[in-house]
Amino acid sequence: MPSAVKVPRGICKTSPKSALAWDSRICYIEWRCNWLVGHTRNCPVGWLPILEQAALAIQQTNCTDFVTLSIREQFGDFVWNVETQSLEAWNHVTFAKQRALTTCSVCGTSYDVEYVCWGGSRLTLCDACDELSGPQIMDRMYPAKRRLGIS
Ligand SMILES: [Zn+2]
């Protein structure tokens, strides 16, 4: 199990603060790592930096068989289903999932983060985001849905 992921140069370590910034980062990471295409937009905003860093780390391995089956948030956990024979790539995915456990899925902070019961489910939120209303949380977590008017 790797204890740290070296962050590639030029990669923002914080989550995007606007839908426009979010969109350009999605486009960039999907261009760099075309095996993510179609799944990145399902990643909560707060976890996007984790996904970006892991994806670029995987891209730097010699792995050629990496396939992303799905990316989503489920009951507060970061779900990233993949297929690969590369142990190194697999470790990057596992480490990303572990980091998400202590990272707010809305704002990306790792301060005062815990599972929060939320509408019969649960989310991984910091204290500040836990104060937001349900629609505010969903708006910030998924900019694409906000822009498309999907609730
Ligand atoms: Zn937060």
Residue ranges of domains in the chain: 19-145
Residue 81 bridge partners (DSSP): 70
Tell me how far the alpha carbon of residue 101 lies from the centroid of ligand 1, in angstroms. Answer: 13
Pairing of strands 113-118, 121-126: antiparallel
Average pLDDT over residues 1-26: 75
Question: Which has more pLDDT, 69 or 17?
Answer: 69
The pLDDT of residue 145 is 62
The pLDDT of residue 147 is 56
The pLDDT of residue 146 is 59
User: Please, are residues 104 and 110 in contact by the beta-carbon 8 Å criterion?
Assistant: yes
- Whether residue 51 is predicted with pLDDT greater than 80 in this model: the reply is yes
By mean pLDDT, which of 13-22, 27-36, 37-46, 129-138 is the weakest?
Answer: 13-22
151 falls in which pLDDT band (50, 70, 90)?
A: very low
Q: What is the DSSP letter of 34?
A: G
Tell me how far the alpha carbon of residue 141 lies from the centroid of ligand 1, in angstroms. Answer: 10
Phi-psi category of residue 17: left, alpha or beta, with phi > 0 → left and psi -120 to 50 → alpha: alpha
Tell me how far the alpha carbon of residue 103 lies from the centroid of ligand 1, in angstroms. Answer: 8
- Burial status of residue 28 (CB atoms within 10 A of its CB: 0-12, 13-18, 19 or more): middle
Computed from CA positions of residues 59, 34, 22, 40, in that sequence, does the dihedral angle turn out positive or negative? negative
Protein residues near ligand 1, an ion, with CB under 5 A: 104, 106-107, 126, 129
123 falls in which pLDDT band (50, 70, 90)?
A: very high
